[in-house]
Structure 1
């Protein structure tokens, strides 16, 4: 049986939560492999709605859930999210939730620095101010405090020296006092018992699961266009969001990634700053945002909305090696007489079939649109091709042609069962 890696193929917010939940029911293990609690996944299970930002989506079904080493973990948020889900009746124990021992921690001064930078700069990246970027900086700077360090707090002073040497200088530039070392150590001692019971060598347990033939589902956060290398830099997140990160971010190895399922909205949205060639700052954008309830799960920020961009999704599919896509929110387009698809760009008289890498060029490209006929019937709740209007099927088929990647499944509402399965990723 194939493992499955689920990634967003646009700028995030594509509806990964529902798809992961739908797949998690048949998975034996669900793994988060990058990002932090800047992710936002909404799961609708029966009459209950769960909003997750750090925990793997499998946890609400009792599936073994793993937070890999590629994630940066805010231990206080972890404690609170576990408590919130427990209040909704979800059982969470060290038996069904594991955290990589080598997972770096997000600390209070990371959150401080994130907010200070956003407030001070005229060049707004649009971060969630949750300390994700600064925590990744400390990881690659080899000064991070990790989960395993919580079991060795008495030996932490040399690492704190390195952190303070770096951060105190940055804080001074913002007229902020130095890090309170005593408070930091006390805070870590207070939170350690909430984290350490979950700490495991997840690379080892995932290897055992793979050898036993168990189905492993890798759950990505954000979207490919926010990848720190391949996204719309510098308006990106601070981790690699492409499918290959499932390997480095979990310790399983590149052969374990399996079927790569890219999640794609039937239109395009983006939260925060950065280029967005097909953005519709008009009645169409308002229609999509209102009908699609386009507000960020984590921040509540209103999402920018626009037409489907086949150029960007084709680029995402190529870079991430996407095997098939899950097309979500098709029902939001119901009732539109005309639907547009971006099939290329022009810039200074030159035609592009990809998004150029420089931010200034990305901001100036002009989309080339192809118009397709809409449909008046509803697609909401459809669970088979036969229940879809003919024009909706034509729209899906045209998207497949343009992105050079097949549709694996179609989602027609937030309800998990309102899904049309074309090809089972776990059986591939």
Structure 2
């Protein structure tokens, strides 16, 4: 198969977890590498025997014995959430998840203070909330940009430095949000983080280079391209690079390469507020997702018709993919009323492709304002996979008809030399 990078081309929730689980089942995969986001990820995997786990920081291949997880330096590591996730996996019959985990010493730590700050800031926005997951991801990233002593995984090996840095985050939180929720004492937090370091192997960059030489590696992205910190529809975005960029940086450092796999549903979804041109309230009511609902912080789970314009934009800002994995084809097959949006009506103009460019939040905010007023121009969906290939000029290499690996159907060979299938732009 070779190394593969798995990225969601939408707003998230397209099924990255189930695709990664499938890639790790019955193949020679050594490890899953997480390369963006943190504990806010929610990648649902259901095993053929009915066990269900929502993967956040562990790789979605963890149900397969022997497959390791590596948290790269681009991850935001939350040791408390990681311990809870390991506990759930243990209850499902996976007792060695932590034994198969490594974490890069340079990865940032998400603390209870970041989480509390995240919730305080989002609550203060009132009706203008951005749809945060409330897990402290944005606060972790923004704090690190402003403070050179932001706590990192490697600090867990040095109790005195760890306590000093945690105390600094605690003081920042209390000063910034004096009316915010209570957060634990820095010493108690440090004790928990030190216990994490005693249980998990903390490594340097060379560890990943070794993994890439010993077998196939799957790079598992979090959230979706349309939420990217620079290319998403600002301000309804994440503080994370959700494209292939981080994974390809890690691969280049090791002198390796990987095929790019883009994941999308056969219909569109979005969690929380923000532009959603093809949203259809009837579909939201008729297509509830058993593993995605309304969350206190994230907001409602919304559904709509397949949006080829948004997907073309995702392909353009990422530079294209080598193949597509289309999930929820079983749902699409039972819904003859589903449609595909091939263009938008934007200010009286028919637009089939959105403008892209270098990072510019002002441009992205202006695009968001236009999208909030855009109207979809629909056509019949027809056979979903064929329609997607035609609309996106990109081959579908994997069909998914259900939540388990048993519902996956390879459509054509995948894992060729990167770029061999990539659509031209």
Instruction: Report SS of the residue matched to 1:155.
Output: helix
Mapped contact 1:106–1:132 kept (Cα < 8 A): yes
Higher mean alpha-carbon deviation, 326-335 vs 200-209, is at 200-209
* Cα separation, 2, equivalents of 1:255 and 1:370: 44
Which residue of structure 2 aligns with residue 203 of structure 1?
A: 205
Q: Choose from 102, 107, 111 the match for 2:111.
A: 107
Residue 151 in structure 1 maps to residue 194 in structure 2: no
Which residue of structure 2 aligns with residue 45 of structure 1?
A: 47
Mapped contact 1:153–1:185 kept (Cα < 8 A): no
Which residue of structure 2 aligns with residue 91 of structure 1?
A: 95
Which residue of structure 1 aligns with residue 269 of structure 2?
A: 269
**Aligned residue pairs, count:** 399
Which residue of structure 1 aligns with residue 70 of structure 2?
A: 66
Which residue of structure 2 aligns with residue 383 of structure 1?
A: none
Seen in structure 2, the aligned counterparts of structure 1 residues 313 and 226 have a Cα distance that, compared at 3 Å, is same
Which residue of structure 1 aligns with residue 292 of structure 2?
A: 295
* Cα separation, 1, equivalents of 2:83 and 2:53: 16
Mapped contact 1:41–1:297 kept (Cα < 8 A): no
TM-score w.r.t. the length of structure 1 is 0.86
Seen in structure 2, the aligned counterparts of structure 1 residues 204 and 215 have a Cα distance that, compared at 3 Å, is same
CA RMSD of aligned residues (A): 2.5
Higher mean alpha-carbon deviation, 293-302 vs 12-21, is at 293-302
Which residue of structure 1 aligns with residue 338 of structure 2?
A: 339
Seen in structure 2, the aligned counterparts of structure 1 residues 189 and 339 have a Cα distance that, compared at 3 Å, is closer
* Cα separation, 1, equivalents of 2:349 and 2:254: 38
Q: Choose from 405, 414, 418 the match for 2:407.
A: 418
Seen in structure 2, the aligned counterparts of structure 1 residues 160 and 345 have a Cα distance that, compared at 3 Å, is same
Which residue of structure 1 aligns with residue 379 of structure 2?
A: 370
Residue 405 in structure 1 maps to residue 398 in structure 2: no
Which residue of structure 1 aligns with residue 309 of structure 2?
A: 311
Could you tell me how far 1:201 is from its partner in structure 2? 2.3
* Cα separation, 2, equivalents of 1:229 and 1:35: 14
Instruction: Report SS of the residue matched to 2:177.
Output: helix
Instruction: Report SS of the residue matched to 1:206.
Output: helix
Could you tell me how far 1:156 is from its partner in structure 2? 4.3
Which residue of structure 1 aligns with residue 223 of structure 2?
A: 222
Could you tell me how far 1:166 is from its partner in structure 2? 4.0
- Deviation track 1:242-289 (CA, whole Å, cap 9, x = no partner) reads 0112144x57638535111111100000000100000002x23322x2
- Deviation track 1:315-340 (CA, whole Å, cap 9, x = no partner) reads 21222231111000011123434431
- Deviation track 1:75-97 (CA, whole Å, cap 9, x = no partner) reads 11111111221121103266521
Mapped contact 1:266–1:308 kept (Cα < 8 A): yes
* Cα separation, 2, equivalents of 1:9 and 1:3: 19
Q: 5+ unaligned residues in a row in structure 1: which ranges?
A: 374-391
Seen in structure 2, the aligned counterparts of structure 1 residues 297 and 367 have a Cα distance that, compared at 3 Å, is closer
Could you tell me how far 1:131 is from its partner in structure 2? 0.9
Q: Choose from 137, 142, 157 the match for 1:137.
A: 142
Which residue of structure 1 aligns with residue 17 of structure 2?
A: 17
- Deviation track 1:96-136 (CA, whole Å, cap 9, x = no partner) reads 21111111111111111111112111310011111111011
Mapped contact 2:34–2:71 kept (Cα < 8 A): yes
Which residue of structure 1 aligns with residue 359 of structure 2?
A: none
Mapped contact 2:116–2:180 kept (Cα < 8 A): no
Residue 36 in structure 1 maps to residue 38 in structure 2: yes
Seen in structure 2, the aligned counterparts of structure 1 residues 339 and 81 have a Cα distance that, compared at 3 Å, is closer
Instruction: Report SS of the residue matched to 2:209.
Output: helix
Could you tell me how far 1:236 is from its partner in structure 2? 0.9
Could you tell me how far 1:70 is from its partner in structure 2? 1.0
* Cα separation, 2, equivalents of 1:297 and 1:258: 35
Instruction: Report SS of the residue matched to 2:350.
Output: strand
Residue 4 in structure 1 maps to residue 9 in structure 2: no
Residue 163 in structure 1 maps to residue 135 in structure 2: no
Seen in structure 2, the aligned counterparts of structure 1 residues 197 and 133 have a Cα distance that, compared at 3 Å, is same
Which residue of structure 1 aligns with residue 347 of structure 2?
A: 348
Could you tell me how far 1:298 is from its partner in structure 2? 8.0
* Cα separation, 2, equivalents of 1:93 and 1:263: 25
Which residue of structure 1 aligns with residue 358 of structure 2?
A: none
